[in-house]
Structure formats: C-alpha cells, structure tokens
Structure 1
Amino acid sequence: MNRDTWSEVSLSNIRNNMLKIRQTLPKNVKLMAVVKANGYGHGDIEAALMAQQAGAEQLAVAYLDEALRLREHGITLPILILTPIKPRQLKLAIEHDLMLTVTSASWFREARCFKPVTPLRKLRVHVKLDTGLGRLGIYEKPQWDEMVPWLRAADVIVEGVYTHFATAGREDTSYLKQQYMRFVDMIEWVKESRLAVNSYHCAGSAAALRFPELAMDMVRIGAAMYGYYPQKLVPTIKLEPALSLHSTLMQVKKLKKGEYLGYDNSYQADEEQWVGTVPIGYADGWSQSMQGTELLVNGQRAKVIGKICMDQLMIRLPGPCKEGSAVTLIGCQGAESITFAELAAHIGSVPQEISTSLTARVTRIYTDKGEARKRWDKRLIVSSSKGAIL
C-alpha cells in the first residue's frame, strides 16, 4: 500500500451478519445475498465468498458485467441479475448460467433472435412485478397476460416472481402493507396462469429483519449483510459494520484569527486554532457534501472545515497534533466512533451511498484473512481491489 488512506473490511463481520440474519428467518426460507456495486463497496468476490460460507443459496447483482466477474473468479452459486439485460446479451448470460430479471413480453420477442439453439441451454428468469416502487416491473394484468406465453416456452424456467418495497426502513408501515397486499393479488395472476414458479420473494434487508413473516420462499439481503439496517426498528438483532475508513494527518499548522482556508475562502478562522490536512477528497468518494462532518484524531472529534478538495480535506484539530497521526473517518478511536448512520444523516442519504462511493484509489485491506482462509478453497482466494491481498 503506497498511500496513507485506506479502508479495512472485516470478512468475519460480513459472514457473522449473514449467520445472524439466517437465524431470524423461518425454516426453509432461502437466502439471496446481494453483492452488486462491488459488494456495496466492500469487495464483490470477498462478499460473495462470505455469503456462501454463511449458507446463502443464491447471489444477486445489478448488471451483467458484475455477474460475469463473479463467474470469472470461480463463484458457482446461482446469480440473479436484477436489471434487465439487453436481448443481444442473452447468449452470454445463458452460457454463464445466469438468472435474468424480465419485465416485458417485448423483451422476449427480441431476445428470441439471440437464444442459443441447443435444448440444454434453458433461460432461467425471475419476473419483476412493480407493486409501488415505480422503478421496474409489470404493473397491470394485460402486461402479465402478454408475457405468459413466453414464460410457458419449453426452454424457459421461471425461477422466481418478485417485487421490491419502497418504505421498508420507515417506521410507518402502511405503504409497505399496501405493496405487500398488491403483490399477493398479483401472485393470483401467476397461479391462474398455472405456471410453475420455484420461488416468490419480496423482502429485502429491512423487510426481512422487521417482518420475517413476509419472507415467503426467499429473502434478498444486501445492506444488512454489511451492517446497514434500521437498528432502532429491529432492537432484537445486533449487526456489525464491516468497513472502516482511515487516513493520517499529512500537515499540521496553526491558523491565525481572520485567516482563510480552502477554495473560495470557504472557511475563516474565528480565533487562533490548529488545523490539519488529510489526504482524502472527492476523487476518493469523500464528496463535498461531507463538509461539516467530523473525523477522529487522537480519540477526539475534529470537524471538516472549508470545501473538500479533490485529493485532500482540512479539519479543525482539538489542539496541536503530530503529523502522521492516525485519522479515522469511519470507525472507532478509543471511546469515540463515527458511524455510517451519522454520516448518512448529514448528507440526507443512506449508508450504502457512502461505501459504494469509495473509489478504487482507496485500498481495501481485508482483516481476519487468516481465519477466512481456512474456510474456503484456496483456489478461490482472490482480491477485488488493487493492493488488497488475501
């Protein structure tokens, strides 16, 4: 590692979070681990392996390239691509034994031109139903009826029918219940069609933890796998964040009263004070929206001042500090901690926006790698980030 800014990812926390979640679910409910967006910024290969160790039966990603990367690194679990692929990509997906999300009959009509001729290559699909998120999926019965003949084809396997909740992390559950009942009604369309369906699923992380009775045949665990969940609404389970973020003080100086700091004179000292420069900026994924947040130095909080630069940011120090001192942007120092939830609240977003924003310039270092090594085939030990070695 040639840089003084890095993240640490606990493999055991990812695995243990999944094991804890598994214990809360009804028996016979399958576990689908969502490892899209490079495992929410934690490393897709590593996250997939930890999920497999914890007993996940399936994986999910957002895009075809993400699924192909998992296959290239020896991941053999069934993989669902959550975003519909282009019809011309069908042959590639089938060759790598990938499950596809489908949302329209028109997709099937075009995709038939690209389907491999061999009868051994079947198309495995999950049908997405839109019950109120308004993003992707069938939302009217005529759309379903138009798709049914395509789903009945001999070379098509309907692996699943699913939906996604819009408000599972909110205290008010009225809209979630409305979506669930809508899904139940739409399932009747499926049953009336007499199609064979292997699984129905509607619950993501928050819904699975809060309402295990909604688990149906399978749950999709993404955010909670990495320690992100509505903790106040689920006090019966304790999940641990898997990622922490660290850097160092590269320069320390005393700023006089009235002096400016940062682009556009974005900060002016109201008194004599110590300030430090930290080598992380918006090119690393630490955006200018983080201005005003706090970091930890010598176990104390230090506020980010001035505009965050591309490669550095500045903080107001609690007093004189040594250059080279450790800085924690996410994680603990002594009794103090900076959490994803705190930072997400500051920017008006969710924790996963922060971890997925961390760019490749931030090296991922995988902790407890010795323990993890014992648990999987050495042929599959890989790294998804430059400089991070298992």
Structure 2
Amino acid sequence: MNTRRKFLKDTAFATLGIGLSHHLSLAQTFNPSGTNLVSQTANPWIELSANAYLKNVQLISKMAQNKPIMAVLKNNAYGLGDVQVAQILDQSAHIAGFALVKDERCLALRGNGVSKPILLMGDFNEDLGMDLVNNAIALSAFSLESSNKIKKLASESNKEVLVELYVDTGLGRMGMPYSKGIGWIKELVATPNVKITGLFSTLTTPEDFARTQIQRFSNIIGQLKDNGILPSRLHMAPSLSLLDLPESHFNTVRPGILLHGTYPLSKMDQAKNVPLQPTYRLKATVIRMEKLRKGDTIGFSRFYKVEADEWIATLPIGWADGYYSGAENGAKVLINDTLYKVVNVNASHCNLSIGPEKSVVVGDTATLIGPDRPEITPEGFGKLAGGHNYLQIQYKESIPKFVHDEFL
C-alpha cells in the first residue's frame, strides 16, 4: 500500500490525528450532562455549543425559504473543528450535507461517523481516489484535467463515482468557465460509473455582477435540461448572497460563517431580525501577572507603553494560534465579569491591561471570544479590533475543542 495512503488510514480514519484535539472520541466530544470539564492541560481551548449550532441552521434555513443547507466547513470550519461541527450538524434535518476543500478532511469526517453527503469542492489526490469513492464522497469536476481524473477513477471502480459539476460563472479562480458550454459535461455524463449529483458555482461580492453570474448559472441549468441532464442539487449562495440575494438560493444554500453565528459583514440589517447565536467560546487561563512601572513597554517593538504603574496579565495565545494580531488595537477580554483591554499580541502570547489593582490572579479563566458580552461576540470583537468578521475565526487545529449541549 502507498505509504501516504497508509498514513492517512492510520490517522484520519481511526481517531482523527489531525484536527480532533487530544484524539477525542465522539462519546468524549459530546457532553449532554455538562459534566465534561475542560482538561487542565488545555490552554487555550475552544468550547462549542451544540444547541447554538442547531438553532442557527434552523434560522438559516428559514431565511432561505426552508431550503436545505450544504454546510461549508472549509479550513477546519474556520479553526473551530470540522469534525466536531459536522458531528453536531449531522443531527439536523436542515442539513443536506457538508462541503470541504481538502480530500483528507472529507475522509476524516466520514471516518468519525458523519453520515450525511459530503462534497469535495477542491482537487483530490489520486492515491485517495478509491477511498473517496468507497466513502461516498462527491468529487468536483472543475476543469478538463479534473474531469479526466474522474473518468480514470470511474474506469477502475466497481462503484458509482459521485460527481458535482463546478462551473465558473465569473469568480475566475475555480470551476470550468461557463463559456466552454456543456460539451465536457455531456462527455462526463456518458462515462460509465459516473453519477452526477449536483451543479454549483461561487458568487462574487458585488451584487450587480453576482446577478450576472446567477443568470449564467441559470442558462447552464437550462442547457442541461435540454439535454436530459438533471442534477438534483443546485447551489451557489454563500453566506452573504444567502442574506442579500434570494434569487441565488436555487434549491440548496451553502453558508459557511453564518453557521457559527457570525455575519459576513460587521454591520448587516439582517442581524437585527435573525438572532443567530455565537456557537463558541475561545478561552485561556492567565499564566502571568506582573506590575509594570510607568515608562515600561511590552513587546519586541515596544508597542505598548505603560503610562502609570499597572498590572499586566499574560495569556498563552497569540497570532501563531490564529488570534488576530489587530486585537491589540482595542479588543477586550472577559475575566471575572470584568472586561480588560488587549494591549499587545505576539506570536505566542497576548497581554491585557488590568489596571492599578491586582483584580486578576494566575489561574483565572479569560474569555477572548464568546456570547457573554456584546464586546466579545465575533461582531463586537471585529468592531473593536477594526477588522472584518472572518478575522476572529481562523484558529489553528492544535487548539483543543470541547463540545457541550449548552455553554457552561
């Protein structure tokens, strides 16, 4: 057996050596009773609320006129744990399936008990092709080269190869250009063992051009129908278009950031009408408390200068862990029901200004992102740090995740 394939089978299929913190099993990950305390060795860590996720997908489906959802869990669900989030959403009747961009992550979901359909939106390694087929992972045909790989795989397989057609309607970075027509699709459909299960595209942000893309997508659908080709799943609406362009919904929507209770833009009218819930808390334990003197500075670049004697707390999380470095421009952190300003972020640590009194001690728990206060919700963080809402969810896979029915 190919060494790479054997390695993947030994890791991704067993207990998910990449991305599932501390090799947690499904039983260990879920916590109906709320008694699964965070490991004392985890610092920092992420806590997920299963009920918040399930309520969010119900609201998202309602926003989309009850259309089913293909949940985009790319980039390890923005660092929140693709397996953990998929295990939660696999329970929901509103979820039609999951979309990822890496072949290994698709297999990791299936190897950890996720049963709903899975779409690989990106390329696949030929060494993993048969594993993808055997695990009913739908492959994307997004170029002539990818179509040829799929045809070759189908010729070697004794099972149907599930395929979704990825058409580029104007994004320009992925998908078969719509201008090439449907000749390549007809060839793929005629290939034995190939089953076309969907057609999708990706929208740009400007609404006027997005509408042009929607028309192009509709034209492709019409051409396919004229040739007796009827993909069952039609989708192109990401989170932003799901909110702003109802005509982009087709028969399935494809949100990503909305699943986690975060809107794609910091100021959206829909946030007032659709109360999505933040689904996670990013937490850490204070590891150092020291009183700095007036004139002292923090960091290699001496970013923060102490104007008067004050206590400074250190948390063991920094930009190398995915915590946004711009947090030092005004973001806040919650400790013991009090908000403290972030004054420095480096690769491995961040520092908080506690003030002239020692109101925090080593061992106290800090919540950097969470639903507890408006200032530390994803939107609140984005506003204070001066960045968009995607900045606060790009955490590294190494941060442990703990799932509870409700936040503790």
What amino acid maps onto 2:280 in structure 1?
L
Which of residues 46, 50, 67 in structure 2 aligns to 1:7? Answer: 46
Q: Return the alpha-carbon distance in structure 2 between the equivalents of residues 322 and 226 of structure 1.
A: 30
Q: Return the alpha-carbon distance in structure 2 between the equivalents of residues 288 and 370 of structure 1.
A: 26
The correspondence of residues 57-76 of structure 1 with structure 2, limited to 5 A, is: 57-76=96-115
Partner-residue secondary structure (3-state), 2:163: strand
**In the alignment, what sits opposite 1:84?**
123
Q: Return the alpha-carbon distance in structure 1 between the equivalents of residues 405 and 232 of structure 2.
A: 37
1:13 deviates by 0.3
1:349 deviates by 5.4
Moved more, 10-19 or 308-317: 308-317
The correspondence of residues 279-294 of structure 1 with structure 2, limited to 5 A, is: 279-292=316-329, 293-294=331-332
Distance verdict in 2 for CA 1:85–1:4, change over 3 Å: closer
1:195 deviates by 1.9
Q: Return the alpha-carbon distance in structure 1 between the equivalents of residues 273 and 406 of structure 2.
A: 29
TM-score norm. by structure 1 comes to: 0.83
Q: Return the alpha-carbon distance in structure 2 between the equivalents of residues 5 and 111 of structure 1.
A: 42
Q: Which runs of 5+ in 1 are unaligned?
A: 372-390
Q: Which runs of 5+ in 2 are unaligned?
A: 1-38
Q: Return the alpha-carbon distance in structure 1 between the equivalents of residues 405 and 142 of structure 2.
A: 41
Q: Is the 8 A contact 1:24 1:212 kept in 2?
A: no
1:82 deviates by 0.8
Which of residues 204, 220, 224 in structure 2 aligns to 1:190? Answer: 224
Q: Return the alpha-carbon distance in structure 1 between the equivalents of residues 131 and 119 of structure 2.
A: 14
What amino acid maps onto 2:310 in structure 1?
Q
Distance verdict in 2 for CA 1:353–1:84, change over 3 Å: farther
Q: Return the alpha-carbon distance in structure 1 between the equivalents of residues 292 and 384 of structure 2.
A: 26
Number of corresponding residues: 362
The correspondence of residues 92-107 of structure 1 with structure 2, limited to 5 A, is: 92-107=131-146
Listed one character per residue, the Cα deviations across residues 183-231 of structure 1 (whole Å, up to 9, x for unaligned) are 2233333234432322221112232234444321211132211112256
Identity %: 23
1:241 deviates by 0.8
Partner-residue secondary structure (3-state), 2:351: strand
What amino acid maps onto 1:232 in structure 2?
M
Q: Return the alpha-carbon distance in structure 1 between the equivalents of residues 126 and 291 of structure 2.
A: 61
Partner-residue secondary structure (3-state), 1:218: coil
Q: Return the alpha-carbon distance in structure 2 between the equivalents of residues 300 and 370 of structure 1.
A: 19
Partner-residue secondary structure (3-state), 1:220: coil
**In the alignment, what sits opposite 1:249?**
286
Q: Is the 8 A contact 1:105 1:143 kept in 2?
A: no
Partner-residue secondary structure (3-state), 1:247: strand
Distance verdict in 2 for CA 1:342–1:133, change over 3 Å: farther
Partner-residue secondary structure (3-state), 2:230: coil
Q: Is the 8 A contact 2:332 2:375 kept in 1?
A: no
Which of residues 308, 311, 319 in structure 2 aligns to 1:274? Answer: 311
Q: Return the alpha-carbon distance in structure 2 between the equivalents of residues 95 and 359 of structure 1.
A: 27
Q: Return the alpha-carbon distance in structure 2 between the equivalents of residues 370 and 296 of structure 1.
A: 15
Q: Return the alpha-carbon distance in structure 2 between the equivalents of residues 326 and 253 of structure 1.
A: 17
TM-score norm. by structure 2 comes to: 0.79
1:244 deviates by 1.1
What amino acid maps onto 2:370 in structure 1?
G
Establish whether residue 237 from structure 1 lines up as the match of residue 271 from structure 2: no
Which of residues 226, 241, 246 in structure 2 aligns to 1:207? Answer: 241
Q: Is the 8 A contact 2:326 2:387 kept in 1?
A: no
Which of residues 78, 86, 102 in structure 2 aligns to 1:40? Answer: 78
Listed one character per residue, the Cα deviations across residues 144-180 of structure 1 (whole Å, up to 9, x for unaligned) are 323421222232211111111121xxxx632322221
